[in-house]
Amino acid sequence: MRKLSMDELNRKTVDEFRISEKFPVVVVLDNIRSMHNVGSVFRTADAFLLKGLYLCGYTPRPPHRDINKTALGATQSVEWNYFASASEAIQLLKEEGNRIFAVEQVENSIPLPEFSIGQPDKIALVFGNEISGVGEAVLRLCDGCVEIPQLGMKHSLNISVAAGIVLWEILRGRLKKQTFI
């Protein structure tokens, strides 16, 4: 076994990324405090060829060295927009035909293994603040909530970890159906 070289990985250039067909998911980050979490979600969005990120409220925005530290250049490839509030972002996303799902522990949430999107469904996933999660006002604007099953004593995950898990599970489901990529 040998590790593949960077050339063998066939990574897209920034220009190739920009013109590639995107996975029809927008991630909404609402009042995220940590620049490292924001940078990590940028990097995940690049890895999974997402449509884009919406940064809302006091979520830090590029350019910033602490975001770039974890994004590793993904702020250049992933489309992003800033909105003063998640409500404003969600309104625009709904007008564009997206279904909105918060990633949150609520009554009647959909367990992640049971959540799927069809082709050509466009969705947005809302991730909330590291301490308080997705706010009640934003939850009321969502079409539903997705929850990551957790079995241990702790009942929360770092937002960048949660984003990676949810996005991979959704992409994996789409890849199995071979309706994307």
Start-to-end Cα distance in the chain: 27
pLDDT tens column, 60-99? 999 999 999 999 988 999 999 999 999 999 999 999 999 9
Reply yes or no: is the peptide bond before residue 111 cis, omega within 30 of 0. no
Q: How confident is the model at residue 165 (pLDDT cuts 50, 70, 90)?
A: very high
Q: How confident is the model at residue 174 (pLDDT cuts 50, 70, 90)?
A: confident
* Average pLDDT for the chain: 93
pLDDT exceeds cutoff 60 at 179:
no
Q: What domains can you pick out in the chain, each with its CATH number?
A: 19-148+156-176 (3.40.1280.10)
- Structure-token match 């469904």, residue found: 121
Pairing of strands 144-147, 80-83: unpaired
Q: How confident is the model at residue 178 (pLDDT cuts 50, 70, 90)?
A: low
Sequence-distant contacts of 58-61: CB under 8 A, at least 24 apart: 58/31, 58/33, 59/29, 59/30, 59/31, 59/32, 60/32, 60/34, 60/35
pLDDT tens column, 106-141? 999 999 999 988 766 899 999 999 999 999 999 999
pLDDT at 103: 98
Of the CA atoms within 13 Å of residue 170, those in its CB half-sphere come to 33
Percentage of the chain exceeding pLDDT 90: 77
Q: How confident is the model at residue 181 (pLDDT cuts 50, 70, 90)?
A: very low
pLDDT tens column, 12-71? 888 888 899 999 999 999 999 999 999 999 999 999 999 999 999 999 999 999 999 999
pLDDT at 154: 87
pLDDT exceeds cutoff 50 at 180:
no
Q: Would you say 25 and 167 are in contact if contact means Cβ atoms under 8 Å apart? A: yes
pTM for the model:
0.93
